[in-house]
Amino acid sequence: MKFKINFILLIIFTAVILFVSAEKKISKQEINDWENELNGLGFLVLKSSAVNIINGLNLTREQANALRDLALTIEAMGLPVFQLNTNAIFNETAEIKAAYIKLLEYLNKGLTVPKDFQVMLFNMRRRESEIIKNSVWAAKKINIKNSQCIRCHANPDFFYTGDIAHVETASISTAERRDIDITHVIGIFGQKGTAALADLKGQVDKILSSGQKYILKDFRCCLVPPQDLENSANVGQAFVSDEWLGYFDEVRTCPDDHWNDFRHLFIYPVDDYIASALPGIKRRYRKIMMKNVGNLLDEIKKMDDVDYTLQKKMLCIKLKDALDYDFLVGEDSRTPDERQFLAAMYLLCPGTVPVYDKLIKNIDAAEKAGRGK
Amino acid sequence: MIFILFYNQGNNEKNNIGKVMKISLSRKKFLRYLFRFNAGLALYNKFLLPQTIPASGYSGQIQAEHWESLSDNKIRCLLCPNKCILSPGQNGLCYSRGNRNGVHYSLVYGLPAIIAQDTIEKSPLYHFYPGISAFSIATSGCNLSCQFCQNWQYSQTGPENVKNFILSPEEVIKKAKKFSIQSINFFYTEPTIYFEYVKAIARLAKKEKLKTVCVTAGYINDKPLGELIELIDAFVFGLKGFDENFYQKYIGCGLEHIKRSLKQLAESKNRIWFEIVNLLVPTLNDNMSTVTEMCSWLAEEVGVNVPLHFTRFEPKHILSELPPTPISTIKKAYSIAKSAGIKHVYIGNLPGHDESNTMCPGCGKTVIERLNFSIIKNIVKRGKCPFCQYQIEGVWV
């Protein structure tokens, strides 16, 4: 009897062990869906950035026309990856994708993105960052042998269920970073599209002025342009000094007597910013960044009104330096060739032909309205 | 107890001022309201009241220069061609100067409403110590009323309606030195109207070897302008158009006087450096035949060595319905100025275009590259082109 019970328990135990350790099977369809979703999100961010930079470069009619022609060449290739699936497929990313699609609508219409939508967008961007981090963590854990995206970005079935913010992922070297960038570009544009962009990069370079190339040199993906697109002084950059100035002003409203008690509350939003921009950042780097920001806020608190007003721009630069992550994403180490390629990638991104059409229409309308003849 | 309050109502303000409303209050209620009012006042003073509003005892008033007494305690201001005649208590058209008991006062001395640290290129000044930093300063008020003013919140009002800093001329110099700023720029609003403050700062700046720059529309009488020329190192002259009707309708003055000031500056070229800026406003002053006329006049009367900047209009103030200036319009104006023989022509407020770079008139090569008021590359050595050794016009490090 005792043997019988032990035998049954052994069978149950073995079954449990087998169940727990059994690798979850992922169907080909699931892999394709997840890959499409990841590339779709990447494409939406890229497309929004492209709209911002095209409208922010102060292109002349001739330049806009020439770039439109090149964009048409890419469009004519009908690359399959750009057939964006707008349906909600994964619960984890459905809201994010919907928000990015809505953002594109605003940008395509040339409308100012409402403040509350920007806040929502920031949260979505942060959520996306966490999903990417989680997918990288899960991929390392399950070690899928596959040549597709899922090799590095596991699908949500394998995600860490706790708070991913507290989990550290592996470091990436500059060389690896470059390979990752190339893989991502191929992921969105495919081999054929990437090769076409590489072919056209010289032509794009010839169309642009030296100043426009300088603007594009350090351009990073940016969802929302700094202010509305009508302001020609805005070039669609990701770094927004106006936002930071508002933040500094808030810091200065905190009464001096309470600064030490509330200081951490003022630093907290920066932590959020770091989390969304650099999901994989190491704890020690994050700590250094937070310390730098804290020191800067202390400096801002101590300044008199005149010094603070005079130094506003300098303080924004200091904050940018405190949050500098060039050493992680490697923009500084881009070669001239890579910079040309990236300019072509943004300016010829599929779906930009209507953006050029609208821009040319606006240029014509403004010329018609003026008397500059 | 009976407590009397004055009150007024919305649009019928004038009719209701002075009417009284009787409210019955118990002593206890009155004391409670009084306590709340005082507590609110204390909190307001502590946290909400901007610290830079003039403290008691400092009014920003200093006796003005360039005026004459008239009968009945009236005065006539002689600073600008407006020549305001003011009764006691009245302020001038510029909002910043007023008659106080028969004496003319500047009301904004030491009370700048705008301060900022900029690059000298923002003025725009491209041939005067390129790349140095500037302490830009401006008080409220203006003697003109440009309908497209970019800083109308400050220029079309007096010091009582804006947040001011209290900053003596000595303090301006001290702050400039603290942050290693090499130039004081009187910018953003018209410096003519805070003439006394400009002069006091400029005198101190000279002693400390700091440069001074006036960004002006030139609506100032000859004598005070002469005094400024003696003290200021460089000017940026805002020539807003070249059409009398345009000036009368949209600027609030006549063009002839502006041309006279510009000629006065041109005659002092050996003493000062100056550059001209022309804002092209769509449909109002962007007629290319007028631009051609302006460029020919400038080349002939002012000189081909004086840089000319065409800047892009951004919809602002009363003319906010207008579109921004088309890029093609600015480029056409650029070509016209070049054809007129002006050596250094620039386009501004339009980042990313090569026309904001300095090209050597000798060999045509780019010697200074700029973006957004910043210098990306400068290969000029002591004013000379490194390729052909041409001495480029300007004041160089």
* DSSP string computed for A100-138: HHHHHHHHHHTPPPPHHHHHHHHHHHHHHHHHHHHHHHH
Answer whether residue A229 is part of any domain: no
Do B211 and B101 reside in the same domain of the chain?
no
Q: Provide the domain count of chain A.
A: 2
Partners of residue A313 in chain B, C-beta under 8 Å: 116-117
Contact B352 A235 (CB under 8 A): yes
Domain that holds residue A100: 30-223+329-354
Contact A370 B326 (CB under 8 A): yes
Do A158 and A105 reside in the same domain of the chain?
yes
Answer whether residue A235 is part of any domain: no
Cβ atoms < 10 Å from Cβ of A368: 10
CATH code assigned at B143: 3.20.20.70
Do B155 and B235 reside in the same domain of the chain?
yes
pLDDT value of position B60: 83
Contact B369 A306 (CB under 8 A): no
pLDDT at B218 over 60: yes
Q: What is the mean pLDDT of residues B147-163?
A: 91
Highest mean pLDDT (candidates A121-135, A169-183, B288-302, B371-385): B288-302
Quote the percentage of chain B above a pLDDT of 70: 86
Answer whether residue A18 is part of any domain: no
Do A175 and A268 reside in the same domain of the chain?
no
> What chain A residue is nearest to B351 in terms of C-alpha separation?
A233
User: Which of A214, A311, A370 minimises the CB distance to B329?
Assistant: A370
**CA distances in angstroms from B47 to A259, A264, B159, listed in the order given:** 14, 21, 22
Return left, alpha or beta for B209; rule: phi > 0 is left, psi -120 to 50 is alpha, else beta. left
Domain that holds residue B17: 2-48
Highest mean pLDDT (candidates A175-184, B42-51, B103-112): B103-112
Contact A365 B47 (CB under 8 A): no
Do A43 and A117 reside in the same domain of the chain?
yes
Task: Please enumerate in sequence order all residues whose Cβ is within 8 A of that of B45, keeping only pairs 6 or more positions apart, or say none.
Answer: none
Widest CA span in chain A: 105
Do A148 and A192 reside in the same domain of the chain?
yes
- What is the distance in angstroms between the Cα of A110 and the nearest Cα belonging to chain B? 14
Do B73 and B41 reside in the same domain of the chain?
no
CA atoms within 13 A on the CB side of A255: 9
Partners of residue A235 in chain B, C-beta under 8 Å: 351-352, 372
Partners of residue B312 in chain A, C-beta under 8 Å: 232
For B85, counting Cβ atoms within 10 Å of its Cβ (0-12 exposed, 13-18 middle, 19+ buried), the class is middle
pLDDT at A246 over 80: yes
Contact A58 B370 (CB under 8 A): no
pLDDT at B41 over 80: no
A9 vs A253, higher pLDDT: A253
pLDDT value of position B39: 55
Do B15 and B120 reside in the same domain of the chain?
no
Query: Measured between alpha carbons, how far is A193 from A200 in angstroms, rounded to an integer?
Result: 11
Average pLDDT, chain A: 81
pLDDT at A98 over 50: yes
Do A321 and A338 reside in the same domain of the chain?
no
Residue B185: pLDDT band with limits 50, 70, 90: very high
Do A64 and A102 reside in the same domain of the chain?
yes
Partners of residue B350 in chain A, C-beta under 8 Å: 58, 232
Do A90 and A129 reside in the same domain of the chain?
yes
pLDDT at A316 over 90: no
pLDDT at B10 over 50: no
Partners of residue A239 in chain B, C-beta under 8 Å: none
Contact A210 B369 (CB under 8 A): yes
A109 touches chain B (CB under 8 A): no
Q: What is the mean pLDDT of residues A111-127?
A: 86
Contact A372 B47 (CB under 8 A): no
pLDDT value of position B237: 98
pLDDT at B339 over 60: yes
User: Which of A212, A231, A372 minimises the CB distance to B328?
Assistant: A372
Q: Estimate the share of chain A in helix, then strand, then coil, as percent rounded to the nearest 5.
A: 75, 0, 25
Do B176 and B91 reside in the same domain of the chain?
no
Quote the percentage of chain A above a pLDDT of 70: 83
Do A299 and A341 reside in the same domain of the chain?
no
The residue among B327, B334, B356, B372 with the most chain A CBs within 10 A of its CB, best to mutate, is: B327
A188 vs B359, higher pLDDT: B359
Answer whether residue B122 is part of any domain: yes
Of the given ranges (A17-26, A152-161, A297-306, B359-368), which has the lowest mean pLDDT? A17-26
Quote the percentage of chain A above a pLDDT of 90: 23
- What is the distance in angstroms between the Cα of B183 and the nearest Cα belonging to chain A? 13
Answer whether residue A22 is part of any domain: no
Query: Measured between alpha carbons, how far is B254 from B7 in angstroms, rounded to an integer?
Result: 45
Model pLDDT for residues A37-59, shown as the tens digit of each residue:
888 888 888 899 999 899 889 99
pLDDT at A223 over 80: no
Contact B328 A235 (CB under 8 A): no
Do A70 and A154 reside in the same domain of the chain?
yes
User: Which of A255, A310, A363 minimises the CB distance to B117?
Assistant: A310
pLDDT at A125 over 50: yes
Do A130 and A277 reside in the same domain of the chain?
no
For A356, counting Cβ atoms within 10 Å of its Cβ (0-12 exposed, 13-18 middle, 19+ buried), the class is buried
Answer whether residue A118 is part of any domain: yes
Do A84 and A44 reside in the same domain of the chain?
yes
User: Which of A61, A211, A310 minimises the CB distance to B116?
Assistant: A310
Q: What is the mean pLDDT of residues A63-83?
A: 84
pLDDT value of position B51: 36
Partners of residue A365 in chain B, C-beta under 8 Å: 323
- What is the distance in angstroms between the Cα of B354 and the nearest Cα belonging to chain A? 6
pLDDT at A169 over 90: no
- What is the distance in angstroms between the Cα of B33 and the nearest Cα belonging to chain A? 26
Query: Measured between alpha carbons, how far is B374 from B368 in angstroms, rounded to an integer?
Result: 10
> From the centroid of its chain, how far is CA A283?
21
pLDDT at B135 over 80: yes
Average pLDDT, chain B: 87
Of the given ranges (A33-37, A252-256, A301-305), which has the lowest mean pLDDT? A33-37
Partners of residue A211 in chain B, C-beta under 8 Å: 351-354, 356-357, 369-371, 376
Q: What is the mean pLDDT of residues A144-152?
A: 74
Of the given ranges (A216-220, B244-248, B260-264), which has the lowest mean pLDDT? A216-220
A206 touches chain B (CB under 8 A): no
- B351-387 burial, b at 16+ Cβ within 10 Å, e below that, comes to bbbebbbbbbbbeeeebbbbbbbebeeeebeeebbee
Distance, first Cα to last Cα, chain B: 76
Contact A232 B312 (CB under 8 A): yes
Answer whether residue A232 is part of any domain: no
Residue A24: pLDDT band with limits 50, 70, 90: low
Answer whether residue B95 is part of any domain: yes
Cβ B110 vs Cβ B169: under 8 Å: yes
Do A156 and A99 reside in the same domain of the chain?
yes
> What chain B residue is nearest to A307 in terms of C-alpha separation?
B175
The residue among A55, A232, A252, A253 with the most chain B CBs within 10 A of its CB, best to mutate, is: A232
Answer whether residue A103 is part of any domain: yes
Torsion over CA: A358, A359, A360, A364 (sign): positive
Of the given ranges (A334-343, B40-49, B220-229), which has the lowest mean pLDDT? B40-49
Cβ A203 vs Cβ A211: under 8 Å: no
Partners of residue A360 in chain B, C-beta under 8 Å: none
- What is the distance in angstroms between the Cα of A307 and the nearest Cα belonging to chain B? 8
Residue A325: pLDDT band with limits 50, 70, 90: low
Domain final residue pick, A326, A341, A367: A326
Partners of residue B148 in chain A, C-beta under 8 Å: none
pLDDT at A241 over 60: yes
Do B72 and B118 reside in the same domain of the chain?
no
pLDDT at B57 over 70: no
Torsion over CA: A107, A113, A117, A121 (sign): positive
Do B168 and B308 reside in the same domain of the chain?
yes
User: Which of A214, A311, A370 minimises the CB distance to B376?
Assistant: A214
Of the given ranges (A81-90, B81-90, B312-321, B322-331), which has the lowest mean pLDDT? A81-90
Do B192 and B318 reside in the same domain of the chain?
yes
Residue A373: pLDDT band with limits 50, 70, 90: low
Model pLDDT for residues B97-113, shown as the tens digit of each residue:
999 999 999 999 999 99
Residues 313-332 of A with CB under 8 A from B: 313-314
Residue A135: pLDDT band with limits 50, 70, 90: confident
Residue B5: pLDDT band with limits 50, 70, 90: very low
In the chain, the amino acid numbered A180 is I
Residues 351-370 of A with CB under 8 A from B: 363, 365-367, 369-370
pLDDT value of position A25: 64
Do B154 and B293 reside in the same domain of the chain?
yes
Of the given ranges (A36-40, A87-91, A359-363, B312-316), which has the lowest mean pLDDT? A87-91
Query: Measured between alpha carbons, how far is A363 from B76 in angstroms, rounded to an integer?
Result: 49
Do B102 and B123 reside in the same domain of the chain?
no
Do B18 and B131 reside in the same domain of the chain?
no
Model pLDDT for residues B276-308, shown as the tens digit of each residue:
999 999 999 999 999 999 999 999 999 999 999
Contact B288 A372 (CB under 8 A): yes
pLDDT value of position A236: 36
Contact B288 A373 (CB under 8 A): yes
Q: Provide the domain count of chain B.
A: 3
Answer whether residue A62 is part of any domain: yes
Answer whether residue B388 is part of any domain: no
Contact B349 A363 (CB under 8 A): no
Q: What is the mean pLDDT of residues A98-123?
A: 88
Do B99 and B189 reside in the same domain of the chain?
no
Of the given ranges (A105-109, B137-141, B142-146), which has the lowest mean pLDDT? A105-109
Answer whether residue B295 is part of any domain: yes
**pTM (two decimals):** 0.82
A73 touches chain B (CB under 8 A): no
pLDDT value of position B316: 72
Domain final residue pick, A309, A326, A343: A326
Contact B352 A211 (CB under 8 A): yes
Domain final residue pick, B87, B106, B125: B106
Residue B160: pLDDT band with limits 50, 70, 90: very high
